[in-house]
A = this chain, B = another copy of it.
Amino acid sequence: MDRIEKIVLLGAGNVSTHLGAALQGTGRRILQVYSRTIGAAEILARKLDTDFTTDLNYIYPGADLYIFSLADNAMEEVLDSFPLKDVFAVHTSGSLPVDILQKAGLQAGVFYPLQTFSKTIEPDFSNIPLCIEAKTEKHQQILYHLASEISRDVRFINSKQRETIHIAAVFACNFTNHLFSIAEEILENKEISFDIMYPLIQETVRKAMQQKPSLVQTGPAVRKDDKIIQKHLKQLSTLPDYQKLYNFISQSITQNSTK
């Protein structure tokens, strides 16, 4: 087997849904969808016009690739009951090592799309970084060819690096969104619509991507404008959690700028 043709998807969440559709778009055959939740399995199977099962014992054995897109904490349980051995399998997790599949007796790889997926929005895979890893050079090549057909940005990333990327993504994506939420709450408390922030947020991101974020830091903390910082902290006194966070991040910025 030098080319993946037949694929079984395990999991019917956002990653499975969008990745399955993208792979089908390259002409690959999605043989079957497995999910523990019958509703989810059926919806995705219908979308991909294929079969589904909720029973691991009915997983089709003849696929070239088994893609595990399950919640991290469900992986072990599913792998324990997975009846096939020695088939080629990848998972799509940012934080699990490749070895988790190998330990389950599978030929192991990773196919991790570095993106946040939404149920309703069809992503454009062509610019999503696909982080791939495999245990043999042959499998590396096979995954590379498959990944290259759906994205322009395919990278060999080992499990250690992928962990690092996952942590960085928590800072750049999850934590960033939390800061947006705080801004939203602070504004809406005073009946100002969050949309007033849109151009500023877009420009912040544009600058961070055009140059390096560490080179374009602005604001009171990097200017060491203690008068403004103290004023802001005072104004945040009715929101003590955000006051603490303001203080903490400001200190972190000041420390970084004097490194």
Residues of A at the B interface (CB closer than 8 Å) are 72-73, 95, 114-116, 118, 123, 127-129, 153, 155, 157, 160-161, 163-187, 189-190, 192, 194-205, 207-209, 212-214, 216-222, 225, 227-228, 231-232, 235-236, 241-242, 244-246, 248-249, 252-253, 255-256
* Complex-state Cα separation, A202 to B59, whole angstroms: 37
* Complex-state Cα separation, A155 to B222, whole angstroms: 29
Could you tell me if A197 and B168 are in contact, using CB atoms closer than 8 angstroms? yes
- Tell which of B123, B192, B213 touches A181, judged by Cβ atoms closer than 8 Å: B213
14 A-B residue pairs with CB within 8 Å: A72-B227, A114-B200, A116-B218, A118-B207, A123-B203, A128-B199, A168-B192, A170-B219, A177-B216, A178-B249, A181-B213, A181-B217, A195-B209, A241-B252
Taking CB atoms, residues of chain B closer than 8 Å to A186 are 164, 167-168, 171
What secondary structure prevails in chain A residues at the interface with B? helix
* Complex-state Cα separation, A157 to B196, whole angstroms: 11
Q: If A72-B225, A184-B212 touch, does A217 touch B177 (CB 8 Å cutoff)?
A: yes
